[in-house]
Structure 1
Amino acid sequence: MEINQQQLWLCFVFLIQSAVLQAKKIEDVVILADDSYPPYSYIENGQLKGIYVDFIHEASKLIADKYKVSIIAVPWKRALQEIKEGQALAIIPPYQHLKDRSYIWPYSKALMKERVVAFCYSDINLMEYLNMKHTNEERPLIIGINAGYMILSQELVNAINKGIVAISENKSTLSNVLKLHSRRIDCYINDRVSTLWEFSRLSLKKQISFDNIRESMVVMSQTAHIGYTNSEFHNFTYKDDFVERMDNALSQLFTSNEFQLIINRYLLETDE
């Protein structure tokens, strides 16, 4: 069958148009965010907000020619499960647990360094308690953590195994802080800034006093990241390109004036 010049020309135009459309295609990317981790990532009045949320919004503007990024608030344990199953591309803001969360890789550039501490009643010195000899008749110390968080030091894990410490997992920073205030838990372990932010908010809005609670022990320091699914079942063919572009965008954000403005917007708002 002969192909005339007009047919060749139409084929050429079609190929060119297909290439242009492919080049201009913008991928929709969803990042899951912890819905209860103020001031980094949380829901307020039905709106997702927070330091890390705003970081990603700003960085996403720099890659908007290639990716349209949406951030969806999800309970932390459910978000981890979706990443594990390859249903979602990314999650914020996990710490790096390479062995225990092998289903997350790679991690983005560090968003911020967080300091994990134990807040306890003033009559409890957690460090001394962990080093004391205990009898089997003693009630274990109850320590609250956010559900799905991996923030316990080896020293605390050992204490759990000995039965001198019991862990109470609760949905959010708020629920843990309220339980700590009513002494339904003896201590609460979480990021220092997040806990103090909730103390300050409740003190201002609910006139709740936390004068009898103090910072008892530094548990660890960790960096927070965007974590990407490493599941063999994911079909995000653009993953590697997105990771590289997002890291470059974050690097630009971290050297801009907007970086500190975002942090100040949240850390200073409870002082107003």
Structure 2
Amino acid sequence: MLVTAEGAVRIWTINLPKAGNAITGADFIAAFEAAVDAANRDTGVCAVVLTGAGKIFSAGGNVREMADRKGMFGLPAIEQRYAYVDGIQRIPRALARLEVPLIAAVNGPAIGAGCDLAMMCDIRVASERATFAESFVTLGLVPGDGGTWFLQRAIGYERAAELTFTGKTLDAATARNWGLVSRVVPHEELMPTALELAGQIAENPPRALRMAKRLLQESRTGALESTLGMAAAMQPLAHHDDEHDRRIAKWRSA
């Protein structure tokens, strides 16, 4: 995976175009985790944009390796179970600890685990060339990467069920109508749009951004009372942040 910087924004590019930007390889997963940990350590990072090299966002798993029973796909069933835990499932776990906002710039097909990866992001912007498919059942498989958890939180249970049970492909316009992405733009405007959005996010204080993201994540599954408790604990930290003082001073002088 390529990692580049534009100020307080990091760009992560899945760089395996000949393999459909597959996200199941051990090297890729390790690089993905390393990118997450690096962004967390660097308090100057305020947002990340994730995209794919070439014409595909990600085709998900390596179907060729499945067909040839290579790697984990040649293991006995019980060992395959642990291979999923120690393999692709490390990606949603890594993103669960990513502290900064993550924008998916979906430049082309996002299929299977590639679709799920987009759903793991906080915000999704799609090229008009993008397509989406929760296609596991068409190969006699189930989403092994947590897709059933993420997809229904993005578009609701009923639509997630339709995509999961049919494996059908959505074009970008339909994905926008279903709430799968927040906006669709001409292909050549995809990265400028995603970077502009990331830049708007990065204009805000980094520590407040990280705490706000954690509150949003906890609020997806937590009870109201626990969310209120966390907010009450975080807000004094924000009040005593130097950046808050600077923002208040700027407000006073406006």
TM class by shorter-chain length? Answer: under 0.3
User: How does the TM-score come out when normalised to structure 1?
Assistant: 0.23
By relative contact order (CA 8 Å, sep 6+), the higher-ranking structure is 1
More strand by share: 1
More helix by share: 2
Which structure's CA Rg is the greater one?
A: 1
User: How does the TM-score come out when normalised to structure 2?
Assistant: 0.24
